[in-house]
Structure 1
Amino acid sequence: MVADLTELAALEDAPRVVFFGMECSFSLPVLTTLLGSGIEVCAIVMPAAKDLFMLGSSISSTNTAIFRLPATHIPGGLLPMMQTGYTEERGSIVRLAQREHIPVWCVRNLAAQETRETLASYQPDLICVACFSQVIPSGILSLPRLGCVNVHPSLLPALRGPEPIFWAFHKGCMITGTTVHFMVPKLDSGAILAQEVIAIPDGISATVLEEHCAHLGGKLLAQVVFALMHGHAHPYFQDETQSSYQSYPQAEDYMVTAQEWEARHLYNFICGVADDTLPVILRVHILDADGAGVERYLLVSEALEYDNAALLPLEGNDPATIMRGEASDEWIVACRQGWVRVRESGSV
């Protein structure tokens, strides 16, 4: 597989790609890299959110399955757990499409004949997907002559599903990665075309890790597109015995019992996914004045440091499970192994 994207851009017969994405921090770097690699992105497809569909209704029937986005509109994000939507700092795939004169289509019903005919009119060699909130039906998967490929931010077959970065933090993974794979009807299960490991360093946020995965994914996807175009790809099947699937995180997935996790795991989970608007709920077992076991709950927005070996000072004959930090909103919490210093944003 060709590794130098400048060499890819110089190759003749640029592949024709229809790109499926969203206004999020994962789709944009992937699309940018495709364009910079000399790949012809002939159309962009986005899910039609309610506000976009109302906009489209002004130029077509409200029953239409797909409509072209007016060139002046910048839509917001659609996925609640990603950094979505347009800002000047992060950019926008729609704004990029406007600069590159690429048509943007908003789809309401991917299975409709109207949608298939619209996309078929571009005669794509490939459909490339990088973050899309709708299940893509077989009629679309079979449309391009070289197939559909997806960029997924995990080391498949591990962590299939819509939020693998959250679950990498939740499971205490030290590495993750990005996978480019063929799309089949079963989610995230097609043959792997390219994969590369990314370390998860202490203290990194999910937003930054997602950006690392997206930039790597764009590079891998560009390589895969040219490899498929020139018959140099070597896909291999996923090992189903090693597969795992996780759905969207629920409220209970943000609740952690401190004494059940090691300090490093807890520290990195809080750094990864918590903030003031979506804190981690930390459950701590303590003894009351009568020596009875009770639970205390903290809303934690930030982890400040950890020690994976030390114990808190003794309370009677046993180490303490929680103690005040230097600031009034700080706590030092004992874990299964070690302790974590956290900043509280509230209590429950």
Structure 2
Amino acid sequence: MTEIMEWIGPLSVEQRTAMGLAGAAIAFLVVVGVLAIFLGWLRSLGVCVALVALAVVALFLMPLGTSRLVSHPAPAADYEAAMKTFETELLPSSQPLNPLCDPYVLSHGEKTKRVVVLLHGVSSCPHAYVDFAPLLHERGDNVLVVRMPQNGYADRASDTLGKITAEELAEFADKVVDTAAGLGDEVVFLGISAGGTIAGWVAQNRSDVDRAVLVAPFFGLGGTGPWTNSAAMRAMLVLPDFTIWKDPAQRENFQGGMAHAYVRQSTRGTGQIMRLGEAVAEQAAKGSPAAGDIVVVMNDADTAVSNRVTDRVVDRWIADGADVTSYTFPAKFGLGHEIIDPEEPGADPSISYPVLLQLIDDPSAFDPAAVPMPMPEPAAAPATPAKSAD
């Protein structure tokens, strides 16, 4: 068994999903074979196909309750009120935190012209912005770096991600924007991955946000389209919660990876994040986003999220007449999913930071053609044959 887990460990999410689907297909054939003993092959196959079809129909008819995921704004009136809200609502934690994962404010001691909110992805924490946040502070911004609910706890093997709900994330987003309103005259909200999903909800619901920046937003699983993603989301919400370990062999004993990230993911928590994303898509189909303008940054080399599903949301915003700037890093850059955290494999701040800083400042002046392309690595010099001694 250990050998199998060690073999599965390095596989990508898509490869593990393919294995899961193959396993489900094998289980289906086994059930058909058992029933065939009593019903015959054709009848048993018909019964099983009918049951699967009924399950799929029931899954798509299941109400998601997304109409509840609306905003209840209560913006801070001034700097002092904002800092009090931060200290009472965003700073406390119900469990001991990883020492790297406290939320924080890089402040100039008063309300500034602009505040930038930075929100990490699921299983990560505020430490993801350890290098990026100071760059904004040096530009004169107040910077609010927040911790997503159920993330950043000291126990890296915590099962707390399974407790995430879309309602909790929407309420959290409201509190963050309420706080930011007192820290800057202009509010920019940037989130990456699941943080990008929340940034999308903020863009749709909060008119006091001047710019929402969605970086590699998680609206859909990598390799899926809108329909297959919806099916996967609904299955995750209905089926029991499953743990996806970063190292299936070592599980909770895994000491590798980034010191500020969990060593496991939750299918139920993932489904709830996708449910919030579905709420954004549904709201976008019914009306224009509330934020002043929206920036969406994707990556052609990103296999963790579905750019196709993100495009569905972006297309609806554009159809509503929203001011949307979209940029996709070409695959040739070789970037991973997490393009901000300098400790994440596949990140290259020398490429991503200049682009993100410009898009935060002025999307209208951004020129994709001006983004420098990576230089090809020089070819290795041919080996020089050794000379024999005379």
Fold shared, TM-score > 0.5 on shorter chain: no
Give the structure with the higher percent helix: 2
TM (normalized to structure 1)? 0.31
How high is the TM-score relative to the length of structure 2? 0.28
Higher percent of residues as strand: 1
**More relative contact order, 1 or 2 (CA 8 Å, 6+ apart):** 2
